[in-house]
Amino acid sequence: MRQGFEGLYGQVRDRLELDPRSGHLFLFANRQRTRLKLLCFDGTGLWVCAKRLERGRFHWPEAEPGATRVQLGAYELALLLGGLDLAGLRPRRWYRQALAVG
């Protein structure tokens, strides 16, 4: 995981085919799942944040077959960063209004 601003920007644009300046957060992990980097654009520039675990690994969610990305909500991101395995969690049913993107 040696990529910085330009490398992560290129990954989002070319591999994920998304706009890195969309305001979304883009999360990347190394192969061992011990390090994460987060890329976001705040309207004036890019932010790159990193987290390295001293012990253990992040439990990365499984992508759908043939998918190149996994979409997480804010609460799922918080759980992932907090060290919880999303596969073993059961979300509760409740009303959630879909936000308009555009």
Mean pLDDT of the chain: 85
Query: What gap in Å lies between CA 53 and CA 40, rounded to an integer?
Result: 21
Query: What gap in Å lies between CA 2 and CA 28, rounded to an integer?
Result: 11
Quick check: 37 and 27 in contact, CB under 8 A? yes
Nearest CA-CA partner of 70 in 82, 58, 55: 58
Helix and strand tally (H, E) in the chain?
A: 2, 3
- Global model pTM greater than 0.75: yes
Q: How far is CA 59 from the centre of its chain?
A: 12
Q: Where are the domains of the chain?
A: 5-87
Quick check: 78 and 89 in contact, CB under 8 A? no
Per residue in 30-79, pLDDT (tens digit) is 999 899 999 999 999 999 999 998 888 888 888 888 888 888 888 888 88
- Average of per-residue pLDDT across 5-19: 93
Site of tokens 């759908």: 64
Share of residues in the chain with pLDDT > 90 (%) = 43
Q: Which residue has the higher pLDDT, 78 or 24?
A: 24
- pLDDT confidence tier of residue 8, bands split at 50, 70 and 90: very high
